[in-house]
Amino acid sequence: MTATPPMLKLEAFLPYRLSILAEAVSQSLAGVYRRRYGIAIPEWRVLATLGQFDSMTAKEIGLHSRMHKTKVSRAVATLEERRLVRRHTNNRDMRESFLELTSAGRRIYNELVPEALGFVDRLLAPLSEEERTALEPLLQRLTERAFELNDRMGERPDGGGG
């Protein structure tokens, strides 16, 4: 007698559901800044990171936003071309530069932040106050656990979504 192998229902599989949720949320929010400013997800992440921290290297942006260095480099090049980001050479290490928002980049950041925060409010609207309060620590614990599992398997995620 052979045992029936377990069946995986993709639509109920947690990693798949989280991936679908992340992609749907990211694409929905991306529509806001894509339509208004012609900015893609990687450019938004660079803008948001520099808006939060003022000045960082591309490597630091990649670590903070969990984006691969190639994506960061392309996003920075696009934002520089559009004069939304400028670079300053690091006098201690000539191989790297510090990046910061230009006044035009800062204006876009300041206009987009209230829209992004409003988007989060609309996304969370179906949740009760208790559910909203519980969500953050649950997300934090799942994120930490996913990184632990990745470390054990020798993988480092570069992030997806927005």
Residues of the chain with pLDDT under 50: 159-161
Q: Give me the domains of the chain, ranges plus CATH numbers.
A: 16-127 (1.10.10.10)
Q: What is the pLDDT of residue 161?
A: 46
Q: What is the pLDDT of residue 141?
A: 96
Q: How far apart are CA 32 and CA 47, in angstroms?
A: 14
Cα–Cα separations (whole angstroms), residue 105 to 43, 58, 72, 91, 112: 11, 16, 16, 24, 11
Adjacent-strand bridge partners of 55:
100
Q: What is the pLDDT of residue 107?
A: 96
Chain centroid, CA 27 distance in Å: 11
Q: How far apart are CA 45 and CA 143, in angstroms?
A: 19
Q: How far apart are CA 80 and CA 101, in angstroms?
A: 9
Q: How far apart are CA 150 and CA 140, in angstroms?
A: 15
The residue written with tokens 């990745």 in the block is: 150
Q: What is the pLDDT of residue 155?
A: 56
For 99, phi and psi rounded to 5 degrees? -110, 145
Q: Where are the alpha helices (DSSP H) in 38-128?
A: 41-53, 58-65, 69-81, 103-124
Q: What is the pLDDT of residue 5?
A: 86
The residue written with tokens 């749907």 in the block is: 24
Model-level pTM? 0.81
Query: What token pair was written down for 124?
Result: 């969370």
Question: Sheet of 55-57: strands edge to edge?
Answer: 55-57, 97-101, 85-89
Q: What is the pLDDT of residue 85?
A: 97
Q: What is the pLDDT of residue 158?
A: 54
